Amino acid sequence: MGGHHKKNLRAEKAKVKLKGAKLPKGLNVTKTDFKVRKIEIREQLKESSYSETGQRQFNLKETLSRLKHHSVKFRTDAQRNVRDSLKSGNADHLIGHLNELFQGIAAGALDMERSARQESFKTLDVLLEALQPQAVAPFFHVIATYLRCAMTHVLPAIQEDSLLMLDVLLLRVPPAFLAERSASTIIGNFIDMISRARHDNERSNRTLTLNLSQGKQTTVKWRTKVLIRLQQILGTLVTSKTASTGAARVVHFEEMRPQYYNVLCPVRQDNRDLHTILNESKLTAEGTQLHTYVEQLLPLLQDNWMEVRPQQQQPLLNQDAAASLHVVIGLMSLLWNLIEQHEADHSTTELSDWLRKNYAQKFLLNFLAKDGSRFPYQQMPLATKKSSKEKGTVDGGELCMPQNLGIVRLTCKFFPSPVERQTQLFAHLVGYMQESLNRLHSLSPEQQLSLVASMRALLFENATSLMKIVAEPLTSLLSASIEAYVSQRFTTREGVATRVLNLLCEIVERSDLYTRFGGEQRFTPFLSYLPQLVLKPTVGESTLRAMTTLCRHLNTVFMAALLQSAPEIINHLDKLQITNDIEGQDKFENQKRVLNLYYYARVLDKEGKLERLVKQLEEQVERKRIADYLKAVVGYH
């Protein structure tokens, strides 16, 4: 210890000796004459840029790594950078990294933070909008997997936000693509979101769930939210199976060129399987899946309606009940559409027969009552006024027009051959349709489309059986429809007037319906009005086709009206345009289609009106082509 003490003293003494001394000049200057080389890692350390708001913009690899970062702020910044890059038109450089990009963005659907989930959905929306469906196809299973995980998550908040992710897919992904990839799986997840499997001896295999932590009203709204998205998914299935009819092959005769026509008719293929041909009960895989959908969904839909349905003494619906009825009726209609498409493809009626046998009476009791006393439904006036657009899309408005018209169509599907004891029920439905026609001027184009669809169900599809029990009300409805069409009360938007025209023409073409409804006496106003359509600036392809069919059937009322308007029609041919015609078709070819109508109408020309018209046209040099063709049509034997 003593030695150490002396050593410390000497050290202290040495410090004292140096105190006040100065270093020689130049020894305290930093040397700067050495050389250095800059270290560069080109792939990792790129120059960072800043946006106009002063936020840092990262390179692609840094962004992809930050999408998986544990910090919410880092993940949110990465999502924002991806959106900014896509909006600036730099989507091409992402093509090679789409797998990592979709993994990172779709994983945000399971994030515990709500803000991060919403940022993820915004980024997914921008990304799907920027990419072509072909580029998304190899990675769509990644998005669908995270969507299904979110829909079945244990946290209600993540389940609820999964509907926002589905909204993005419904908006940005083509319906056929979405239906083909994962619609069937998503439908199962939808059912799990509002119900659970039942483990008792009840006939129904699922029961509705109630979220006790949020109250009954919130549960009703939650189910409505889920069912609206389910309706959109089923709509994609219906749309994807709707076949588009191609244009027919048109061959024009020319004397100086060889003509080639089909000699043999195409062989009609029987697409039925062996079980259907032998009348054995055997569903295909698609039919079995559809059977499962209906078996699980219909009881849930009816139970959901029974929970919010008002008592018999209070027929008015509150807003939640009206919205619930709106989506329930829409879903049931879509299920019927899927069944009809399946049965048309496979030439069978097994599913529809099973559906009517098991659910027709339940539908009648729950939605109409046996005598139709619960129908029609109306909504209570709202205390606070909302925009008409919001009311119309959510609950159908105070008159509940979409719901009531949907119930009319569903009743016709469940009871295609009504019996005499249902006379009061169907008279009630027809009376409601008559009242709706009287309010036609106040209906939107969408409501008029729904009205025409319900008219088709009553006046055409089920008319043969309905004429046996409600002949007089149904005939009055037809007369009101003809009067509304002739007076041009149906809007031309969304093709409403054209659909009414097609419906009336199809009724005329059916000889049994034409006779039962009163024949010429009933349809004279409509048939006499038809030639006036050719005097308008445009005429639809379907309208011209319907006129041709009426001429082929030698309908004398229509041909007489056509002959009477011949001078005006032929003088108007140069200004006439046919909509939805074959692309690139010559204008004269369309004019010839109108002139061909007089090949049939000439049999009523006892006064030689057409021949005088031909002579007048021959005097006009610029119309010689029309005159020659009309002369050939009139003189052809």
Residues 135-151 pLDDT 10s = 888 888 899 899 989 98
Q: How far is the C-alpha of 424 from the C-alpha of 433, rounded, in Å?
A: 14
537 DSSP 8-state letter: S
Distances (CA, A) of 558 to 473, 526, 529: 26, 9, 8
Per-residue pLDDT tens for 363-396?
999 998 888 888 888 888 876 554 444 444 556 6
| Among 485, 515, 501, 488, residue whose Cα is nearest residue 546 | 501
In this predicted structure, what is the pLDDT of residue 357? 93
Higher local confidence (pLDDT), 308 or 542: 308
In this predicted structure, what is the pLDDT of residue 430? 94
Q: How far is the C-alpha of 243 from the C-alpha of 221, rounded, in Å?
A: 35
SS3 label, residue 357 = helix
Please name the helix (run of DSSP H) or strand (run of DSSP E) that holds residue 63, with its range, or none: helix 60-66
Q: What is the pTM of this model?
A: 0.78
Indicate the burial class of 281 (C-beta count within 10 angstroms; 0-12, 13-18, 19 or more): exposed
| CB 294 within 8 Å of CB 188 | no
In this predicted structure, what is the pLDDT of residue 278? 57
| Beta pairing class for 577-579 and 538-540 | parallel
- Between vectors from CA 398 to CA 392 and to CA 399, what angle results, nearest 5°? 100
Lowest mean pLDDT among 287-291, 424-428, 579-583: 579-583
Higher local confidence (pLDDT), 495 or 469: 469
* One-letter amino acid for residue 323 of the chain: A
Mean pLDDT over 223-249 rounds to 73
Share of the chain above pLDDT 70, in %: 79
In this predicted structure, what is the pLDDT of residue 576? 85
In this predicted structure, what is the pLDDT of residue 233? 83
| CB 410 within 8 Å of CB 371 | no
Task: Provide the sign of the torsion angle of the four alpha carbons 254, 257, 258, 262, taken in this order.
Answer: negative
Per-residue pLDDT tens for 52-70?
444 445 577 788 788 888 8
| Beta pairing class for 206-208 and 316-317 | unpaired
Q: How confident is the model at residue 469 (pLDDT cuts 50, 70, 90)?
A: very high
Average pLDDT of the chain to the nearest whole number: 81
| CB 229 within 8 Å of CB 222 | no
SS3 label, residue 23 = coil
Domain spans, the chain: 49-241, 417-518, 530-637
Q: How far is the C-alpha of 547 from the C-alpha of 526, rounded, in Å?
A: 12
In this predicted structure, what is the pLDDT of residue 42? 56
List beta partners, residue 40: none
196 DSSP 8-state letter: E
In this predicted structure, what is the pLDDT of residue 405? 95
User: For the range 584-593, what are the long-range contacts, defined as Cβ-Cβ under 8 Å and sequence gap of 24 or more?
Assistant: 585/250, 588/625, 589/252, 591/626, 592/629, 593/544, 593/548
In this predicted structure, what is the pLDDT of residue 50? 44
| Secondary-structure breakdown of the chain: helix, strand, coil percentages, each rounded to the nearest 5 | 65, 5, 30
- Rounded to 10 deg, the angle between the 423-438 and 471-486 helix axes is 20
Lowest mean pLDDT among 191-205, 485-499, 563-577: 191-205
Q: Where are the beta strands (DSSP E) in 202-355?
A: 206-208, 316-317
In this predicted structure, what is the pLDDT of residue 388? 45
Q: How confident is the model at residue 526 (pLDDT cuts 50, 70, 90)?
A: very high
SS3 label, residue 378 = strand
Task: Provide the sign of the torsion angle of the four alpha carbons 379, 383, 385, 389, taken in this order.
Answer: negative
In this predicted structure, what is the pLDDT of residue 482? 94
Mean pLDDT over 162-167 rounds to 89
Asked if the model's pLDDT at residue 48 lies above 50, the reply is: no
Higher local confidence (pLDDT), 291 or 207: 291
Residue 294's CB is within 10 A of a number of other CB atoms, namely 19
List beta partners, residue 579: 540
Mean pLDDT over 204-232 rounds to 71
In this predicted structure, what is the pLDDT of residue 32? 73
Q: How far is the C-alpha of 529 from the C-alpha of 485, rounded, in Å?
A: 9
In this predicted structure, what is the pLDDT of residue 461? 93
Name the token pair of 408: 């009319």
In this predicted structure, what is the pLDDT of residue 337? 92
Lowest mean pLDDT among 80-89, 153-162, 436-445: 80-89
| Among 136, 27, 39, 153, residue whose Cα is nearest residue 91 | 136
Alpha-carbon dihedral of residues 382, 387, 392, 396, nearest 10 degrees?
A: 0
Domain 49-241 coded CATH 1.25.10.10? yes
Asked if the model's pLDDT at residue 606 lies above 60, the reply is: yes
Q: How confident is the model at residue 45 (pLDDT cuts 50, 70, 90)?
A: very low
Q: Where are the beta strands (DSSP E) in 239-395?
A: 316-317, 378-379
| CB 570 within 8 Å of CB 559 | no
Mean pLDDT over 39-46 rounds to 54
Q: How confident is the model at residue 314 (pLDDT cuts 50, 70, 90)?
A: low
Indicate the burial class of 229 (C-beta count within 10 angstroms; 0-12, 13-18, 19 or more): buried
| CB 64 within 8 Å of CB 101 | yes
| Beta pairing class for 378-379 and 538-540 | unpaired
Q: How confident is the model at residue 268 (pLDDT cuts 50, 70, 90)?
A: low
Most confident segment among 186-200, 469-483, 529-543, 602-616: 469-483
Q: How far is the C-alpha of 212 from the C-alpha of 82, rounded, in Å?
A: 40
Collect all residues with Cβ–Cβ distance below 8 Å to 557 and sequence separation of at least 6: 520, 523, 524, 527, 528
Instruction: Tell me, letter by letter, the H, E, C secondary structure of 552-567.
Output: HCCCHHHHHHHHHCHH
Asked if the model's pLDDT at residue 472 lies above 90, the reply is: yes
List beta partners, residue 195: 208
User: For the range 550-553, what are the long-range contacts, defined as Cβ-Cβ under 8 Å and sequence gap of 24 or more?
Assistant: 550/505, 550/508, 550/509, 551/597, 551/599, 551/600, 551/601, 552/600, 553/508, 553/509
| Among 68, 74, 129, residue whose Cα is nearest residue 100 | 68
User: For the range 68-71, what are the long-range contacts, defined as Cβ-Cβ under 8 Å and sequence gap of 24 or more?
Assistant: 68/104, 68/107
| CB 551 within 8 Å of CB 561 | no
In this predicted structure, what is the pLDDT of residue 621? 74
Q: How far is the C-alpha of 216 from the C-alpha of 201, rounded, in Å?
A: 26
* One-letter amino acid for residue 314 of the chain: Q
| Among 521, 495, 523, residue whose Cα is nearest residue 507 | 523
Q: How confident is the model at residue 245 (pLDDT cuts 50, 70, 90)?
A: very low
Scan for tokens 């140096």, then name that residue. 18
Q: How far is the C-alpha of 416 from the C-alpha of 408, rounded, in Å?
A: 12
Asked if the model's pLDDT at residue 201 lies above 70, the reply is: no
In this predicted structure, what is the pLDDT of residue 311? 75
Share of the chain above pLDDT 90, in %: 26
Higher local confidence (pLDDT), 360 or 380: 360
Residue 104's CB is within 10 A of a number of other CB atoms, namely 23
Asked if the model's pLDDT at residue 272 lies above 50, the reply is: yes
Mean pLDDT over 186-195 rounds to 79
